[in-house]
A and B are shown apart, each in its own frame.
Chain A
Amino acid sequence: MADMPIIDHDKCQQCGLCASICACGALVADEKGSVSIIEVEKCGWCTLCELVCPYGAISCPFEIVIERKPDQD
């Protein structure tokens, strides 16, 4: 399964901002307009949700790796 942004449910106030900014439709609020769900395949890791969350409840961490050249394998 692909990685996805991490929601800290203790911090999340269910304001729905992240879902409203997510252009890929990866974050969606449920019928009550509350909880945000992530549809992994759609998330392009634009990090906008992390940027807009007023409570620092969602984070999009990056892994930093050195590319392995084929001749190094």
Chain B
Amino acid sequence: MTATLDFISSVPYFAGLDGPVLKAIGRHVFERKAERGEILLFEGHPTDALYFVVAGAVKVFKTSADGKEQIFSIIRPGDSFNDVPVFSGGVNLTSAEALGPVVVNGIKKTDLEAVIREYPQLAQNVIRVLSRKVQELVSLVEDLSFRHVTGRVAKMLLEYAGDGDGERPRLTQQEMAAMIGTAREMVGRSLKSLEEEGAIRVERNRIIITDLAALRELAGVA
């Protein structure tokens, strides 16, 4: 058994549940490891399991027929991916790729269903998590529809900024572009204009937010 009950209880799906449910879940959880660039899930393949990131970060994305990538989210420790198809049935709606060395825990669809049948209180948590995922998607649709590219870059920087402790995923300009639904060159241009505005400073491979208030304003989330 690789998953600790401590970790399991920190996952939003299982937060606040008591010992017996957590133990039941713990019995079914398995571990997977991957290196940067490794695909954990393929869009269109049959859904086998719900996954939680234990360490590292995973990008969840879709690829269009002409090869354009749209990133839906970057999943960080404690968060889940592949939720919707696990509960609705069918195939993986998105692909998932490791953004660096990652460790994930998974629970097979059939095992999860069995635990939910035995412990219905788990269903309430599921509803809560899925509602939050819907909110995130609505916010993504809003950004793509209404926000100017520079504003989207600013908002993305705010969302992914850490305090430099190496815990946060590192993103290429291509990944940033795929996340906010634009071309790579637009990201480069937006970063330049944010730098000119004095909101950020780019130092080699670090984007440093120098004026948080200004960046928030540019992101339209002041």
Question: A residues touching B (Cβ–Cβ < 8 Å)?
Answer: 2-3, 6, 8, 11, 44-45, 47, 50-51, 59-68
Q: How far is the CA of A2 from the CA of B204 in the complex (A)?
A: 10
Whether A64 contacts B212 in the complex (CB less than 8 A), given A11-B37, A50-B174, comes out as no
- Structural contact, A60 and B172, CB atoms closer than 8 A: yes
- Structural contact, B184 and A51, CB atoms closer than 8 A: yes
Whether A61 contacts B163 in the complex (CB less than 8 A), given A6-B36, A8-B36, comes out as no
Whether A61 contacts B175 in the complex (CB less than 8 A), given A51-B184, A67-B210, comes out as yes
- Structural contact, A65 and B208, CB atoms closer than 8 A: yes
Contacts of A47 in B (CB 8 A): 172-173
Q: How far is the CA of A66 from the CA of B161 in the complex (A)?
A: 6
Within 8 A of A (CB), among B142-186: 157, 160-164, 166, 168, 170-176, 184
23 contacts between A and B (CB under 8 A): A2-B204, A3-B205, A45-B204, A59-B36, A61-B171, A61-B172, A62-B170, A62-B172, A62-B173, A62-B176, A62-B202, A62-B205, A62-B206, A62-B207, A63-B162, A63-B168, A63-B205, A63-B206, A64-B157, A64-B161, A65-B162, A65-B209, A66-B208
Q: How far is the CA of A67 from the CA of B214 in the complex (A)?
A: 13
B194 CB to closest chain A CB, in angstroms? 12
The residue in chain B whose Cβ has the minimal distance to the Cβ of A47 is B173
Query: How many B residues, CB 8 Å from partner?
Result: 29
Given A3-B205, A50-B173, A67-B201, 16 new contacts (CB under 8 A) = A8-B36, A45-B205, A51-B184, A60-B172, A60-B173, A62-B171, A62-B172, A62-B173, A62-B205, A62-B206, A62-B207, A63-B164, A63-B170, A64-B162, A66-B209, A66-B212
Q: How far is the CA of A61 from the CA of B201 in the complex (A)?
A: 16
Residue among A59, A65, A67 having the largest count of chain B Cβ atoms under 10 Å: A65
Within 8 A of A (CB), among B185-222: 201-202, 204-210, 212
- Structural contact, B207 and A64, CB atoms closer than 8 A: yes
Q: How far is the CA of A41 from the CA of B175 in the complex (A)?
A: 25
Contacts of A51 in B (CB 8 A): 184
A47 CB to closest chain B CB, in angstroms? 6
Q: How far is the CA of A60 from the CA of B174 in the complex (A)?
A: 9
Contacts of B171 in A (CB 8 A): 61-62, 64
